[in-house]
A and B are shown apart, each in its own frame.
Chain A
């Protein structure tokens, strides 16, 4: 299975700190995507990184991809209370997105 696995399962930080979440997967991919889910809501796409890219930025988000280690990381800088949510990585190969179980991020004001 090419399912992504996020680490840690839960993360609690103070407002203003940086949050780092990791994702590992098992098979070759075309791209890897990160999504955010607020409690009880649908997922929102954050960022997509292609298999030939190593790093990508979007606002306070920084994503890295290491295809040799089959891993990715999502860094949220200068976190805010509004960043509190679950974050999922999803991999794309020859089949539709396969999601991991997510990291629950709590940002304490």
Chain B
């Protein structure tokens, strides 16, 4: 069966520090991968998605970036965090099919607090 892992579960970082959040998927090949941010009490905002190694689509311009160095690894990064980067970050995957019609499967998220 397929599993998705996100870490760390919680993170407290000072303003201006770098960020690296990692997400890995097991049990499937060439999944579609997604990064979302959820502000407190709000819906999910899609940040990045990837349909293959080295391919990244950005939905929202900001000081975050994403990379997919391996088939089942998705990394969210920042060189200098802002206060507004605080939130709950979720990684998700969906089966490797053309289009985005398939259900997505989510990790347990990383709660990021910027001080």
B15 CB–A CB distance under 8 Å? no
Residues B43 and A99 in contact, CB atoms below 8 Å apart: yes
A42 touches B106 (CB 8 A): yes
Interface residues of A in 60-109 (CB under 8 A from B): 88, 92, 95-102
B95 to chain A, nearest CB (A): 12
B46 near A98: Cβ-Cβ < 8 Å: yes
Q: Does B96 count as interface, using CB distance less than 8 angstroms?
A: no
| Interface residue ranges of B65-115 to A (CB < 8 Å) | 88, 90, 92, 99-101, 103-109, 111
A46 to chain B, nearest CB (A): 9
State how many angstroms separate the Cβ of A5 from the closest Cβ of chain B.
Answer: 9
Known interface pairs A30-B99, A40-B111, A88-B43; A97-B106 also in contact (CB < 8 Å): no
Contact with A along B1-40 (1 / 0, CB 8 A): 0000010000000000000000000000000101010000
A41 touches B44 (CB 8 A): no
Most buried by A among B6, B32, B44: B44
Residues of A within 8 A of B108 (CB): 41-42
B101 touches A92 (CB 8 A): yes
Residues of B in contact, count (CB < 8 Å): 23
Whether B42 and A101, one on each chain, are in contact in the complex, defined by CB atoms closer than 8 angstroms, is yes
For B92, list chain A residues within 8 Å (CB): 42-43
A31 with B101: in contact, given A42-B90, A43-B106 (CB under 8 Å)?
yes
Within residues 8 to 49 of chain A, which ones have a CB less than 8 A from any CB in chain B? 30-31, 33, 40-45, 48
**A-to-B contact residues, CB < 8 Å:** 3, 30-31, 33, 40-45, 48, 88, 92, 95-102
- B-side residues, CB < 8 A to A, are 6, 32, 34, 36, 42-44, 46, 49, 88, 90, 92, 99-101, 103-109, 111
Known: A40-B109, A42-B6. 17 other contacts (CB 8 A): A31-B101, A40-B111, A41-B109, A42-B90, A42-B106, A43-B44, A43-B106, A44-B106, A45-B103, A88-B43, A92-B100, A92-B101, A96-B32, A96-B49, A96-B100, A98-B46, A101-B43
> Could you show 6 A-B contacts with beta carbons less than 8 Å apart?
A31-B101, A41-B109, A45-B104, A45-B105, A96-B100, A97-B100
